[in-house]
Every structure is written in structure tokens, then in C-alpha cells.
Amino acid sequence: MTTSGLPKILHGPHRRRSLLRAAAVAILACACGGTAKANPGKKQTRLPDPPREFRGVWVASVANIDWPSKPGLPVAQQQTELVAILDKCAQLKLNAVIFQVRPACDALYASKLEPWSEYLSGQMGKAPEPFYDPLAMAVKEAHKRGLELHAWFNPYRARHVEKHGPVSADHVSVKHPELVKQYGRYLWLDPGMEAVQDYTVSVVMDVVKRYDIDGVHIDDYFYPYKESDSKKQIIPFPDDASYQEYLKGGGTLGREDWRRENVNTLVERLYKSIKKSKPWVKFGISPFGIWRPGNPQVIKGYDPYDQLYADSKKWLQNGWCDYFSPQLYWPIKQTAQSYTTLLKWWLDQNTNNRHIWPGIFTSRVADGSKTAWDKDEIVQQVLATRPLEQNAGNVHFSLKPLMSNRGGIADALTTLAYTDAALIPACPWLHEHAPAKPKATLEKDSSTGGWKLSFKMKPVKTGTPDTAWLWLIQTKNRGEWQTKILPGLTASLPLDDIDPNDPNTVIAVTAVDRYGFRSAPAMASP
């Protein structure tokens, strides 16, 4: 979307930024039936609230979309690419990486349950040489940069059409062929089998228990998108045996409702299993952006409720997720699938007050197609979520255009949307206790002659220190506030350009826990 129809009230980059923000806020305010209120700019009398916004990006490994750039790269090059990805995310002031670790019943991590992914080595079942664990590395490097790392799983796909060589002996299609169905060009687990649900839950929980991840994520692949045969006839999903077994056991649902209930059961089991093990690990779902055509009335298009057997509204309203990222992959002005119209509808369905952080189609920017978008469309979609408080945020699909700054999208986000670092909104349904107040000290640095701010958590009653996931550093110097968000591993920060003896100077340190809650601030002075 362009700003050509807006009044010329400013000039240069400031005019461009203001117009984009005003347009996006006005669009969503209109869609939500409200108006945006201006900040009167009162003099600061307390610590300012830091920005709260989920800024995520999908890093897809399937078909080597984002990482690694191709199968079979030397380990050193794989690691260099992974570090560059996380550096770029930090540079863009993103705060969450959704890292695909199970594209098709395989693993981009050390697993005893599934084989090493062919997208890593070029050969299914082949471990990296020299050995390393990509997920362990991704978690460690993300946390060093203050980024959340969410492990992204495909729950049912067993083999993708983009494949390299044969399946390995430890793949589910070989070890448990009774669980796997050939469906068109794909192999697919049968969602109607309880053993499949058990298997998928065990794979996810193995990662939750062994890795220090911040989230588990599943996307829009449940029952498969329809495949056609050589005569262009739709191939029915081959679940006759599992459905007949259900009926023999006394089941009464029709096949379509039964299929939806199979998916419902898996989603509920995943959420409850994760919370029982590690309640701070978020569970996110990214379904197709439309629940059903006609909801709301103006919306037309694909029906995932009928085609994928995904009753995504039910998952949201039952609270079986911590964040919900419907793939709203359409422009704001495309009436039949308008981004803002659909966003408002999903917000209206959010009766359990979970986070709604929509997925956006950043890869459409300057993609060389006739339907390519300008970068301004993505910027306006990001800004349109900003007035939504706990629902401020988006997930970009995918990383590739941000890495290359295709069509200027990375620059646009940096200058027009992600100008300041942001904390991820808290999850009050998971936790209600703020972390303990930290200890902050300010002293001269003998090596530089400047001031150094040091901070740590105070010991709790048991004598063991509490931990901070992030540090929020807020300073007021010469009348201006500055905010820094640092990884919890950080212990100090140089403050060279500050006069702590000025009575108007403020130096505050706040701890942030993994649920997103802030401690009381510790004020530092010499």
C-alpha cells in the first residue's frame, strides 16, 4: 500500500514515517470501530514503560528455504550462516526466532526418535561431521543476543516432495510403516491413529525436556492440502482403516467431524504436556489465516475447516495456545481477504485473551512476481498491530528477504517500525509473580575512567540467586530517556556519556523473567 493519497503535512523521511504510522493506525482503528488517541507528551515523572511487541521471524529449513542455504554444506559454513541469521535478527531489533527443527519426521538436532534431516547433510540419517547440534547452538546463540528461540515442528508430514535420496532405516516410515500413508507426492502420518498422536507428542516433549527453548510452534499443516492424480482428480486421504477402527470402538462422529476432533485432541495434548513440563515454554500455533469463508461476511477463499480439518477458532477459544499467529498473507486493501478485517475478526474471537500475533507475508516483497508487494505494505501491517497492547506483534515469513534487504524491506522496518528494542508481552495466565528486585551498582571503571553499571539478582531465601532472562536498562541523561534491553547473561554496561552526579540523571535496572514480567526497578547512583 502506498501513501500517495495522504496529505503532505511533513517533508522528507520524517513525513514518510509519520504518514505510514498514521495510515496504519487509522486503518486498524476504523476496522476495530475506534479511534487512535495522541500522546500529549507530558513531562516524565516516572520510568517510561518500555515498548511491548512480539517481533518474530520464521526460519524455515524445509527445502532449505532459509537455513542452511543448501544441503550438505560444510559444518563451518552451516554455523557461519546460523550466526549471521541471529546477528541480523538482533540488528533488526527482532526478539524471537521460530526455528524449524522437524520439517518431515526428521530432526535438525540430536534425536534418538527421528533421523537427522536431509536438509542438513544432504542425506537423511547422516549426522554433522564434525559433530554439532544445530538446535543447541541456535538456543545458545539466540540467548546470547536476547532473542527467544521457538522450536517449530510439523506434526504430521513424514516426507516432503523436496527430498534428497532414500529414507534412512530409522525413519518412521521404516520403523513404523503402519503409522504412515502415501498421499500423492508426500508421506503423511495418519492423524486418526492414537499411536500417531502419542508419537508426535513424544517427539515434541523430547525437545522440550532436553533443550532450553522458549517456545514450541506448529504451523498450518494438519491433514494435508489436497493432492490430485494424473487425471487431476482429488485423491482422498487414505484413512479408511483408522476411521473404521474408530467406529468399531463405538465412535459416532461423521468422518469430517472425526478428523477435526483428531486434530483438536493433538493440539490440546501438546499444550497441556508442555505446560506440565515447563510452564514458561510458550506454545504457538500459526493456522491458515481464514477460519472459514464468510467469517466475517466479506471474507472469501480457502476453507481450512473443511479441507485441512483445522478448527482453529476452537483452539484459540479453549486457550490451547499461548500465542496465535494466523497467516494473514493478504494486503490491507484486498477486500475479500483484508489483513486488517481478518485481524479484527480474530481479535473478536479471542475470548480467552491469548496473544494474537499474526503472520505476515514479508517474502512477497519484491519477489519478482506480478503480485509482488512494496515494502510499505509490510510496514503498515506491522504498525497496524501496534495499538493492540498485548496483541502488538507479528511473525515474518520468512527470513530470506530480511537477510538480503530485498526491496529495501529490512531498511524500512528498521527506520519506520522497529526503531527501538521491545520486550515481548507477558503471559499473565501462566504466571503472576514478578521477579525479585535486582541489585545495581555504579562505579568508576579503572580501565577506561568512565562509569560502569553492574547488576545482578539478589539471593532469595534459599540462598540461591534468582535469574533474569533479560535486563531492562533505563537512563535519563540531559533530559532524554534511553532504553536498552540486554540478555540475562550480561552483568555490566559501560555508561561513558552520562553524569551520575547531575540531580536530574536517572539510572534504573529492571529484571525481566521468562514469562515477560518485570521486577521493581533498582536505582543506581555513585
User: 349 and 495 in one domain?
Assistant: no
Assign 260 a pLDDT band (cuts: 50, 70, 90): very high
Domain membership of residue 405 as a residue range: 54-158+192-223+252-416
User: 265 and 149 in one domain?
Assistant: yes
The answer to whether residue 472 scores a pLDDT higher than 90 is yes
User: Of the residues 416, 449, 478, which one is the last residue of a structural domain?
Assistant: 416
| Each residue's pLDDT tens digit, 49-91 | 999 999 999 999 999 999 999 999 999 999 999 999 999 999 9
User: 151 and 298 in one domain?
Assistant: yes
Cell numbers for 89, please give them: 535478527
Query: How far is the CA of 140 from the CAs of 97, 133, 354, 512, in angstroms?
Result: 12, 11, 28, 18
The answer to whether residue 4 scores a pLDDT higher than 50 is no
Q: Tell me the three state secondary structure of residue 139.
A: helix
Contact between 180 and 189 under an 8 Å Cβ cutoff? The reply is yes
More confident residue, 433 or 363: 363
The answer to whether residue 39 scores a pLDDT higher than 80 is no
Is residue 49 domain-resident? no
In this predicted structure, which of 347-361, 419-433, 455-469 has the lowest mean pLDDT? Answer: 455-469
User: Of the residues 416, 448, 468, which one is the last residue of a structural domain?
Assistant: 416
Question: With the CA atoms of 493, 495, 501 and 507 taken in that order, what torsion angle do they form, in degrees rounded to the nearest 10?
Answer: -50
What is residue 51's DSSP assignment? P
The answer to whether residue 12 scores a pLDDT higher than 70 is no
Task: Give the model's pLDDT for residue 37.
Answer: 34
CATH number at residue 509: 2.60.40.10
User: 480 and 380 in one domain?
Assistant: no
Is residue 470 domain-resident? yes
| Each residue's pLDDT tens digit, 181-226 | 999 999 999 999 999 999 999 999 999 999 999 999 999 999 999 9
Give percent of the chain above pLDDT 70: 90
Mean of pLDDT values over 466-479: 93
Mean of pLDDT values over 449-468: 80
| Each residue's pLDDT tens digit, 14-38 | 444 444 544 544 444 444 444 333 3
User: 411 and 471 in one domain?
Assistant: no
Task: Give the model's pLDDT for residue 118.
Answer: 97
The answer to whether residue 42 scores a pLDDT higher than 60 is no
Q: Tell me the three state secondary structure of residue 190.
A: coil
Is residue 408 domain-resident? yes
Mean of pLDDT values over 460-467: 64
CA 339 to CA 332: how far, in whole Å?
A: 5
**Of residues 109, 65, 52, 59, the one with CA closest to residue 86:** 59
Q: DSSP for 276-342, please give it.
A: HH-TTSEEEE--BS-SSTTSSTT--S--HHHHT---HHHHHHTT--SEE--B--S-TT-GGG-HHHH
User: 262 and 409 in one domain?
Assistant: yes
User: Of the residues 384, 416, 448, which one is the last residue of a structural domain?
Assistant: 416
Mean of pLDDT values over 277-287: 97
Beta strands at 492-495 and 451-457: parallel, antiparallel or unpaired: antiparallel
CATH number at residue 100: 3.20.20.80
User: 403 and 486 in one domain?
Assistant: no
| Each residue's pLDDT tens digit, 328-374 | 999 999 999 999 999 999 999 999 999 999 999 999 999 999 999 99
User: 338 and 474 in one domain?
Assistant: no
Q: At what angle do helices 339-349 and 375-385 cross, to 10 degrees?
A: 20
Mean of pLDDT values over 496-506: 88
Is residue 340 domain-resident? yes
Average pLDDT of the chain to the nearest whole number: 91
User: 219 and 364 in one domain?
Assistant: yes
Task: Give the model's pLDDT for residue 460.
Answer: 65
Contact between 59 and 395 under an 8 Å Cβ cutoff? The reply is no
Assign 447 a pLDDT band (cuts: 50, 70, 90): confident
Q: At what angle do helices 255-277 and 240-248 cross, to 10 degrees?
A: 80
Is residue 457 domain-resident? yes
Cell numbers for 31, please give them: 476496522
Assign 448 a pLDDT band (cuts: 50, 70, 90): confident
User: 277 and 137 in one domain?
Assistant: yes
Q: Which residues touch 519 (CB under 8 Å, ≥6 apart)?
A: 434, 435, 436, 437, 438, 468, 510, 511, 512, 513
Q: Can you tell me which residue has the cell 485481524?
A: 343
The answer to whether residue 236 scores a pLDDT higher than 90 is yes
User: 353 and 305 in one domain?
Assistant: yes
Mean of pLDDT values over 36-48: 50
Is residue 33 domain-resident? no
| Each residue's pLDDT tens digit, 95-125 | 999 999 999 999 999 999 999 999 999 999 9
Task: Give the model's pLDDT for residue 464.
Answer: 56
| Each residue's pLDDT tens digit, 380-420 | 999 999 988 778 999 999 999 999 999 999 999 999 999 99
In this predicted structure, which of 28-32, 457-461, 469-473, 485-489 has the lowest mean pLDDT? Answer: 28-32
Task: Give the model's pLDDT for residue 346.
Answer: 98
Is residue 519 domain-resident? yes
Total tally of structural domains belonging to the chain: 2
Is residue 284 domain-resident? yes
User: 452 and 411 in one domain?
Assistant: no
The answer to whether residue 1 scores a pLDDT higher than 50 is no
